[in-house]
Amino acid sequence: MAEPSVQASGKQRKQQAQRTVASTLRPVWKALRAVPKVLHNLSAKDYGKHTPTKRRFGKVTVLSGGVYTRRRIVVVCFGAVLLVELFQLFWPSDRFYPLATLDGYAVGGQSAQQAASKLNAAVAQRDVTLTDTTTSTKVTLTAKQAGITVDYTARAKEAASHSFAERIIPFSWLFVHNTSSDSLPNALGSSKQQTQSDARNAAVRAVDGTLQTVDARVGYAFNATDIFKAADYTRSSSAKGDLVTATLEMNVTQPTAVNDTAQQMLNTINQALGDGVTFTYGDGSWTISASDIIPTISTTVNADDNTKLDVTIGSVKLMNRLKSQGIALQAAQKVADANVVPALFAVKGRASRAIDATTTANAVAAMLASGQNSPVAITMNQVDNLELYDGLPTTGSTEDKLKQLFGDATYSVAVYDLKTGESKLQINADTVTTSASTYKLFVAYSMIHAVETGQLTWDSSLNGMTLSSCMATMIVNSDNDCPEAWLSRYGFDAVTQQAHEIGANNTNFAVGDMRTTANDLATVLKGFYNNTIANTDSTDRLFQLMETQVYRDGIPTGIGSDGVVQDKVGFLDGLLHDAAIVRCDKGDYAMVIMTDGSSWYKIAQASLLIYEDL
Do residue 375 and residue 404 come from a single domain?
no
Do residue 372 and residue 343 come from a single domain?
yes
Q: Is the pLDDT score of 261 beyond 50?
A: yes
In the chain, how many domains are there? Answer: 3
The answer to whether position 33 is within a domain reads no
The answer to whether position 565 is within a domain reads yes
The answer to whether position 338 is within a domain reads yes
Across 85-99, 187-201, 389-403, 593-607, least confident range: 85-99
Do residue 82 and residue 104 come from a single domain?
yes
Integer Cα distance of 509 and 504 in angstroms = 12
Q: How many CB atoms lie within 10 A of CB 560?
A: 20
Let me know: does 249 contact 132? Beta carbons within 8 Å: yes
Q: Is the pLDDT score of 28 beyond 60?
A: no
Select from 512, 461, 504, 452 the least CA-distant residue to 484. Answer: 512
DSSP 257: S
Do residue 437 and residue 484 come from a single domain?
yes
Percent of the chain having pLDDT more than 70? Answer: 83
Helix (H) or strand (E) holding 62: strand 60-64
Do residue 350 and residue 413 come from a single domain?
no
Structural domain range at position 250: 73-202+217-255
Confidence class for position 389, pLDDT limits 50, 70, 90: confident
Per-residue pLDDT tens for 479-514?
Answer: 999 999 999 999 999 999 999 999 999 999 999 899
The answer to whether position 544 is within a domain reads yes
Do residue 245 and residue 277 come from a single domain?
no
Select from 562, 560, 568 the least CA-distant residue to 587. Answer: 562
Model pLDDT, residue 345: 80
Please say which residue of 354, 384, 414 terminates a domain. 384
Integer Cα distance of 562 and 40 in angstroms = 100
Model pLDDT, residue 352: 78
Confidence class for position 160, pLDDT limits 50, 70, 90: confident
Integer Cα distance of 474 and 456 in angstroms = 18
The domain that holds 474 is classified in CATH as 3.40.710.10
Q: Is the pLDDT score of 35 beyond 70?
A: no
DSSP string, 217-250: B-BEEEETHHHHH-SEEEE-SSSSS-SEEEEE--
Integer Cα distance of 344 and 211 in angstroms = 38
Do residue 420 and residue 309 come from a single domain?
no
Model pLDDT, residue 31: 58
Sheet containing 203-207: give its strands across: 210-214, 203-207, 297-301, 309-313
The answer to whether position 390 is within a domain reads no
DSSP 200: B
The domain that holds 369 is classified in CATH as 3.10.20
Please say which residue of 327, 358, 384 terminates a domain. 384
The answer to whether position 391 is within a domain reads no
602 or 67, greater pLDDT:
602
Sheet containing 410-417: give its strands across: 423-427, 410-417, 587-596, 575-584, 563-572
Q: Is the pLDDT score of 457 beyond 80?
A: yes
Do residue 119 and residue 87 come from a single domain?
yes
Do residue 340 and residue 378 come from a single domain?
yes
236 or 66, greater pLDDT:
236
Do residue 352 and residue 465 come from a single domain?
no
The answer to whether position 42 is within a domain reads no
Do residue 527 and residue 576 come from a single domain?
yes
Those residues with Cβ within 8 angstroms of residue 403's Cβ, 6 or more apart along the chain or in another chain? none
Per-residue pLDDT tens for 121-134?
Answer: 999 999 999 999 99
Integer Cα distance of 188 and 149 in angstroms = 6
pTM of this structure: 0.60
Per-residue pLDDT tens for 111-122?
Answer: 999 999 999 999
Do residue 446 and residue 331 come from a single domain?
no
Supply the Cα-derived Rg of the chain in whole angstroms: 38
CA dihedral defined by 287, 288, 291, 297, rounded to 10 degrees? -120
Please say which residue of 349, 384, 419 terminates a domain. 384
The answer to whether position 137 is within a domain reads yes
